[in-house]
Chains A and B, each alone.
Chain A
Amino acid sequence: MAVISRGFHGRARDKGHELPPGQYETTGFPVLSAGPTPAVSLDDWEFTVRTETGVRYRWNWQELMALPSETPTVDIHCVTKWSKFGTRWQGVSLDVLLENVESGAEYALVRSYGDYTTNIPVEDLLDGKAWIVHRYDDEELPAEHGGPARLLVPHLYFWKSAKWVRGIQLLDEEERGFWESVGYHDYGDPWREQRYQGD
Chain B
Amino acid sequence: MTSEPGFLDGNAAAGDLESLFGADMTTASGQCQGCGRRMRLAEAHAYLGGPGTVLRCPGCEDVLLRMVRSPGHLWLDASGLDYLRLPAAAG
Contact = CB atoms under 8 A, between A and B. Distances in A.
- Complex: A in contact with B (CB within 8 Å): yes
Interface string B50-82: 111010100001110011101011011100000
Interface stretch (A32-40, A65-73, A146-154, A165-173): A32-40
Interface of B is mostly: loop
B47 A196 contact: no
Interface stretch (A50-58, A90-98, A122-130, A179-187): A179-187
Interface size class of A (residues with CB under 8 A): 20 to 34
B63 A183 contact: no
B68 A179 contact: yes
Contact of B47 (A34, A144, A179, A195): A34
Interface stretch (B1-9, B10-18, B22-30): B1-9
B87 interface: no
Contacts of A36: 5-7, 56, 61
Interface of A: 30-37, 79-80, 115, 142, 144, 159, 178-179, 181-184, 195-196, 198
